[in-house]
Chain A
Amino acid sequence: AQSVTQLDSQVPVFEEAPVELRCNYSSSVSVYLFWYVQYPNQGLQLLLKYLSGSTLVKGINGFEAEFNKSQTSFHLRKPSVHISDTAEYFCAVTKFGNEKLTFGTGTRLTIIP
């Protein structure tokens, strides 16, 4: 079965600074990888996804992530964060044909003015 690990439960970052949120996965087969964002008191929204092709994936709100098969990682990055990026970010994994999307435990991103 596949699983995903988000090592950082909380990440504080100054406004306009860059940020990287880490995600590592484990699976014996090829996987699909996702990043979802949850703003306070809301459901999750898809930021970006990697299915195949280019390993650098661009998403909404200026976020991007890079799939690294050798390191089994899918880290999320943004070059300059804003106050509005304050939210919880979830990495998720599944495999082709499998309905079950497995989420990580989440990383709470706090932007410091």
Chain B
Amino acid sequence: DAGVIQSPRHEVTEMGQEVTLRCKPISGHNSLFWYRQTMMRGLELLIYFNNNVPIDDSGMPEDRFSAKMPNASFSTLKIQPSEPRDSAVYFCASSPGTATNEKLFFGSGTQLSVL
């Protein structure tokens, strides 16, 4: 299995532009998570899906952020408009079960820089 695949690996954009991050979870996994990692705040859970349904988006910073999972093999995290404080590494992770007492499989992340 190729693991969790995220694209792009690096994204540099200007303030005000729309940014879309993509994630392909491991086939057969039921849960998908979006995390953001910064030096100041560490790893923060933004949103997670179970069987393609958003379960908890309380970690999404504000309305500029949105996430979708149209099917079991694809998810997107969109920021519109982007701001410099959104600069971070964004990780997607998937899990085989419905509870995170199982193992999370992380992608390699997307390094986002907003100028």
Residues of A within 8 A of B (CB): 32, 36, 41-46, 49, 51, 90, 94, 96-106
Residues of B within 8 A of A (CB): 4, 31, 33, 42-43, 45, 48, 50, 55-56, 91, 93, 98-101, 103-104, 106-109
Measured between beta carbons, the chain A residues less than 8 angstroms from B31 are: 99
* A97–B31 CA distance with the chains assembled, in angstroms: 13
Of chain A, the residue at the smallest CB distance from B42 is A105
Residue of A36, A99, A103, A105 contacting most chain B CB atoms (<10 Å): A99
Q: Is the CB of B101 within 8 A of A51?
A: yes
What 7 A-B pairs have minimum CB-CB distances, sorted nearest first? A43-B106, A103-B43, A105-B42, A101-B100, A32-B101, A44-B106, A46-B103
Choose among B45, B108, B109 the residue that contacts A100 (Cβ–Cβ < 8 A).
B45
